[in-house]
Structure 1
Amino acid sequence: MPPAALLASLLLQAAPVDADTRSWWATTTILSSDTMEGRDVGSAGHERAARLVAARLAKAGVQPKGDAGGWFQSVPMEDMTIARATIGVGGRPLRFLHDLYAAPGQVPAAIDAPLAYRGYCRPGEIGDVRGRIVICHGSRRTDMPSPADRIAALRKAGAEGLITIADPGFTVEPPRWPFAYSRAVRLRGSPVVPASLPQMTLRADALATVLAGSGRDAAALIAAGSAGRPLPAFDLTTRFTAQFAMTHRSLSASNVIGILPGTNPALADQAIVLTAHLDGYGRGTPVDGDGLYNGTLDDAAYVALLVRLAERRGGKGFRRPVLFAIVTGEEKGLLGTHWFLKHPTIPLSRMAANINLDQLRPIFPLELMTVHALDATTLGDDARAVAESMGIAVQADPEPERNLLRRSDHWPFLQAGVPATSFVFGYRPGSDSERIYRRWYVTGYHTPKDDPKQTIDWKAAADFNRFFYALVERVADQDAAPAWKPDGKARLGL
C-alpha cells in the first residue's frame, strides 16, 4: 500500500465512516500527500496529480475532452516573484512575509522615504504627506475608506507609498501570517497593470517595531483602529527602506477535462459543468518547521469528490452530459477557469450550468449551508430542495464583506452568463461550529496545517458528499435546464 493510502487507512480505521467516504478520503490523501508537492502551478507535483486524476476518470468511464482530443488543456502563465527582500525602519529590520508583505508589481525595486501615520487615511485627515510612505489602518468597516479610497486620497496628497495595517479587528476573516510567498501569476499575454501607488501590508504586531522610539503606543493604536475609534495623525522622523529582488519566468499547468456523455439526445446541448481546482500553494514560508502547503481541503478533497462521483457512475451517463473540469490556477486568480472559458472544449452555448466545489470545510456538523447565488438562478432552488430533504438548512451568504462569491471558479461562469453555484459550510453565530470555522481560517487556511492529518467531522463530510451526488443527479436528470431568475444577474451585480 502506498504511504499516502496507508495514512488514509490509519486515520479512518477508528472512525465510523462508510465505504464511500473512505474511498473519497483515500483519494484526497493521495492528492494532498507530500509526493504531490502541494500541487503548485508549474510544479512537477501538480502535473503528477493531473495525470492521476485523468487516469482515474478514464478508468471510471469518463471520456477525454481536453485539447486535441486528450485529457489536458495547457494553461500558459507568466510568473513574477519577489525572491528576496531587505526591509528596515530606522535601522530596525522587518521580516518580509512575516511582518510585511508586498506583491510583485506593487512596489519598485528600492524604497527610501520618511514615514507618516494617518489613522484611517480619510481624505480630510491626510494633510501634507508629499514624499512620505503613509501608514493607514486597514479597517474593513463599511463606514471607513475602502482600499481604493485610500489609494486615491494618498495619490492626490502626493504620498510616496502606502503601508496598510492588516486589521485584526476584521474577525470574520482575520489576517493570516506569514504569507507563503510573494508571487503574481497571470495568463500569458495578458497585460501587466502597474500599481498606481506602491502598496505594502503590515502585520499589526509589527507596528511596535515601526514606531519604536516615537513615544507612540502601538498596541493602543491597533486596539483603537480595530474598534473603529478615533485615531491620531502624526509624522515620524525615521525612514522606511526596502530592496526587492524580483524574478520572472514562463510556465504552464494543466486543466483536466473529461465528459460523461448524456443519455438523452434532446438534452445533448445542455452540459452540466462540474469544477474543482487542482492547484494549491506548493512550497512556501515554513510554519512550525513545515514548509509544504498540502492543500487537503483546499481543494484536493473536492477534486477527489469529482473523481468519486465518476467512479460511482461507472460510465453510466445522466440524461444531460456532465463535463468534469478539474481546473488549475485558482489560487493565482481563477486562471484555469478564465482560460477554459476563453478556449472552451465544448461551445459555451452548450454549458447549461456550473456546480463548483471549493471553500468547503467538513470540520463541524453540516446543519446549515451557504449557497452562493442562492436566489439568482434555479440552481439555488435545486440546492435548497436537496439540502432540506436531508435536514440541512440553506442561506444566502451572511458575510458578503468577505467577497467569497467572487473568489472561486463559479464566478467566471456567472460572468459568462452560465448559471452557477458553490457552497460553504454554515454555522449559527456564537456556536461551536463558528468557533471551529474561525480558528481554521487562522491556523489552516493557506497554511501547511491544511494536510491529511487534520481533524475531520466524518459525518459532515459524508453528508455533504451525499448532498452533492443528489444535486448533480437532480440537475442533470430533471426536465428543465437550470435558468437565471428575472432579477438574478442584477442581484449579483452582473
Structure 2
Amino acid sequence: MRTPHLLTTLCLLPSLALGAEPAAPVSDAERWWGHVRHLADDAMQGRDTGSEGHRKAAAYVAEQLAALGVKPGAGDSYLQEVPLVSRQLVEAKSSLALVRDGTATPLVIGQDAIISPRSGEAGSVEAPMVFVGHGLSIPEAGHDDLAGVDLKGKIAVYLQGGPAQVSGPLRAHHSSQAERTKALKKAGAIGTVMLLNPKLEETPWSRTAASRHQKAMTFADPALDESTGLKVGVSVNAAHAQKLFAGAPHSFQDILKRANANQPMPRFELPARLKASSERVSSRTTSPNVVGLLPGSDPALAGEYVVLTAHLDHVGVGQAVKGDNLYNGAMDNATGVAAVLEVARALQARKPGRSVLFVLVTGEEKGLLGSRYFALRPTVPADKLVANFNLDMFLPLFAFERVVAYGQEESNLAAPLAQVASQHGVKLMPDPEPSRLLFIRSDQYSFIRQGVPALSFKFGYAPGSAEERAFKSWYTRHYHAPSDDLSQPLHKEGAVKFVRMLADLTLAVANAPERPRWNDNSFFLRFAPTKANATPSLSNP
C-alpha cells in the first residue's frame, strides 16, 4: 500500500479530531429514488411530449447514461428526434348532437361525450349509427362483430372491452387503434363512438373528460400515421350513454349486463343519427427518444441487441384538481426511467454478451409514438433486435413478492423469466385482468409488431389482498392526476429488488447462446422474421 504523504496526513488530522466521518455511500434505493425525484420535480413541468420540460428530462437521462459509461445510441448523439404534428380541438367551434326526425338534441362536450382530437378530421359529418357489440373482427378466434352488418357510410358504436373467450393478447391486438380502424374502414364505417364500460373504469369520467384539453399528436410523416381514415371519433360517458339508445330495441343497461356476463350481444341500428362538427389547430414539433448503447462483450453475440424501454414523457400541465394543475408523473413513468438507469448501472459492471440498448421513449401518452418510431427506424439493424423489456409504471406500491409479466405466454422468454424470478424469491403470476388489454397499451407493443419478443412488468398481488386494494386504489386516485407526484408513498426497497431481478433477466437473455423466439402457438409469431423463429429454444441461464 502506498504511504500517504506526510502533509496530506497532517491535513486530515484536524477533521478526524473533530469527529468528522466520511460521507456514507448512497444506497441503491436512494439512487433510484434520486432519479425519480429529479424527473418528477415541478421544474420538469410534467414532461409533456415536445415541451421544454421533456427536453430537460431527456438531457438529464443522457447525462446519467454518459456518467455510467453507456455510449450514445443514436449515432454520435443520445437523442433520436421524432418529427411530430401537435393537434388540439377548438372546443368553442366544435359540437355534437343526436338527430331524431330532423330535430337535433345537443350533447354537452365534456359532460356527455368528448371528441377525439387525435383521430378524425376537421369539418362536419352527420350519419346513422349502428351498434356493433365490441366492434371487433378477430378471424383467428372465429369472432366478428362486423359480419353481416351494413356499415357503409355509417358510424360504428361499440362497447369498450371484448369477448372473454378470446385470449387477452389476441383480443388486445385487435382492439388496438390501428387494427380496429383497419377493420372498420374495410366494413365501410366513417366514424366511431366508444361507449365506456363502468366495470373497466380506471379513472373517473371527470378525469377522462379533462384529458380532452391536452394536445394530441401524430407523426409528421403521413406514412407512419395509423390514426387516419375515419371522419370522427367520440367517447361517451357511461352515465349518459342511454341517450343514444332511447327508442332502440335494447337499452344501454341491457347491453352492459350482457357484456359483463360474457353473453352474445345484439347488433342493430340506433334510432338517432350523430351530427358532429370540429375544428382543430395544428403545429409541427419534435421530441426526442434518448438512446444509450452498452456494447456486448462476446464477439459472437455483440451484433445483436436486447432493448430496455421506458417512456420518459407524461401529460404536462392540465386541468387543475384541488388547485394543482401540474401532472408530475412520478409513478407514470419516472419510476420506470429510474429503473432503466439503474439496470444500466448494474449491467455496465457485468459485461453482457449481447449489446444492450437503453431507450427512453417520448410520446407514449400520445399513442406509443416514440417507441413506434424507434421500432420502425431503429438506430441499429432492425433484424438484430432480439428482445424488449418494457417498464411503464411498474407500480412499486408494496414489497416485491409477485410479478406480472405481460406477454409471458407468448415467447420462450418465459423460461429465463421463471428461473430468475425464482432466484429472487418472486412468484410469477398470470395477467389478473386481461380485459384491460395492457399487452397493447405500452411501448412493448411497438416492438411486438416488428416481430421482437417482449415482456412488460408490474408488481403482482394475491387476489383479495391489501396489495390488490392498493393497486386498484392507485388508478382511481392517482392515474393521470396531479397527485401522481413525489408525496405519494412508494416502496423503494421493492423497486430496488425489482431492478436487480430485471438486471439478472437482461443478463441471462444477453448471454444465452440463442436469441429468443415466439412460441409456435403464439398469434404474434406471424410478425417475426422466419429466420429468427427457426432457432432452437432459448437456453436456460
Structure 2 CA distance for aligned equivalents of residues 32 and 41 of structure 1: 14
Structure 2 CA distance for aligned equivalents of residues 208 and 306 of structure 1: 46
Structure 2 CA distance for aligned equivalents of residues 379 and 131 of structure 1: 45
Instruction: Using the TM superposition, name which of 376-385 and 107-116 deviates more.
Output: 107-116
Q: 2:199 aligns with which of 169, 180, 198?
A: 169
Contact 1:260 1:315 in 2 (8 A): no
Shift of 1:394: 0.9
Tell me the residue number matched to 1:81. Answer: 88
Shift of 1:473: 3.1
Contact 2:134 2:162 in 1 (8 A): no
Tell me the residue number matched to 1:482. Answer: 515
For the residue of structure 1 that corresponds to 2:308, the secondary structure is: strand
Tell me the residue number matched to 1:7. Answer: none
Structure 1 pair 154–164 and aligned structure 2 pair: CA distance change class (3 A): farther
Pair 1:48-2:56 in alignment? yes
Instruction: Using the TM superposition, name which of 395-404 and 269-278 deviates more.
Output: 395-404
Structure 2 CA distance for aligned equivalents of residues 136 and 417 of structure 1: 30
Matched letter for residue 265 of structure 1 = P
Pair 1:178-2:178 in alignment? no
Structure 1 pair 168–379 and aligned structure 2 pair: CA distance change class (3 A): same
Instruction: Using the TM superposition, name which of 389-398 and 250-259 deviates more.
Output: 389-398
Structure 1 pair 225–283 and aligned structure 2 pair: CA distance change class (3 A): farther
For the residue of structure 1 that corresponds to 2:37, the secondary structure is: helix
Deviations 1:313-340 (A, max 9, x none): 5666333322221121222222222222
Tell me the residue number matched to 1:106. Answer: 120
Query: Which TM-score applies when normalising by structure 1?
Result: 0.79
Larger radius of gyration: 2
Structure 1 CA distance for aligned equivalents of residues 73 and 285 of structure 2: 22
Q: 1:250 aligns with which of 268, 272, 284?
A: 284
Structure 1 pair 248–483 and aligned structure 2 pair: CA distance change class (3 A): same
Q: 2:295 aligns with which of 225, 242, 261?
A: 261
Shift of 1:135: 6.5
Pair 1:365-2:399 in alignment? yes
Matched letter for residue 382 of structure 2 = L
Contact 1:374 1:381 in 2 (8 A): no
Contact 1:78 1:251 in 2 (8 A): yes
Structure 2 CA distance for aligned equivalents of residues 491 and 150 of structure 1: 19
Structure 2 CA distance for aligned equivalents of residues 258 and 352 of structure 1: 16
Pair 1:418-2:452 in alignment? yes
Structure 1 CA distance for aligned equivalents of residues 331 and 149 of structure 2: 43
Structure 1 pair 311–379 and aligned structure 2 pair: CA distance change class (3 A): same
Structure 1 CA distance for aligned equivalents of residues 52 and 341 of structure 2: 21
Structure 2 CA distance for aligned equivalents of residues 171 and 492 of structure 1: 31
Structure 2 CA distance for aligned equivalents of residues 271 and 149 of structure 1: 31
Pair 1:70-2:77 in alignment? yes
Q: 1:190 aligns with which of 222, 226, 235?
A: 222
Deviations 1:407-464 (A, max 9, x none): 2222232333333222122223333222222222233222323222222233432321
Which sections of structure 2, spanning at least 5 residues, go unmatched? 1-25, 136-144, 528-541
Contact 2:78 2:290 in 1 (8 A): yes
For the residue of structure 1 that corresponds to 2:483, the secondary structure is: coil
Pair 1:328-2:362 in alignment? yes
Structure 1 CA distance for aligned equivalents of residues 463 and 236 of structure 2: 29
For the residue of structure 2 that corresponds to 1:267, the secondary structure is: coil
Structure 1 pair 38–488 and aligned structure 2 pair: CA distance change class (3 A): farther
Structure 1 pair 462–106 and aligned structure 2 pair: CA distance change class (3 A): same
For the residue of structure 1 that corresponds to 2:208, the secondary structure is: coil
Which sections of structure 1, spanning at least 5 residues, go unmatched? 1-17
Instruction: Using the TM superposition, name which of 273-282 and 220-229 deviates more.
Output: 220-229
Query: Which TM-score applies when normalising by structure 2?
Result: 0.73
For the residue of structure 2 that corresponds to 1:302, the secondary structure is: helix
The alignment-based identity, stated in percent, is 31
Matched letter for residue 177 of structure 1 = T
Instruction: Using the TM superposition, name which of 241-250 and 34-43 deviates more.
Output: 241-250
Shift of 1:269: 1.4
Instruction: Using the TM superposition, name which of 179-188 and 248-257 deviates more.
Output: 179-188
- Two-structure CA RMSD over aligned residues (Å): 4.2
Q: How many positions carry a matched residue from both structures?
A: 471
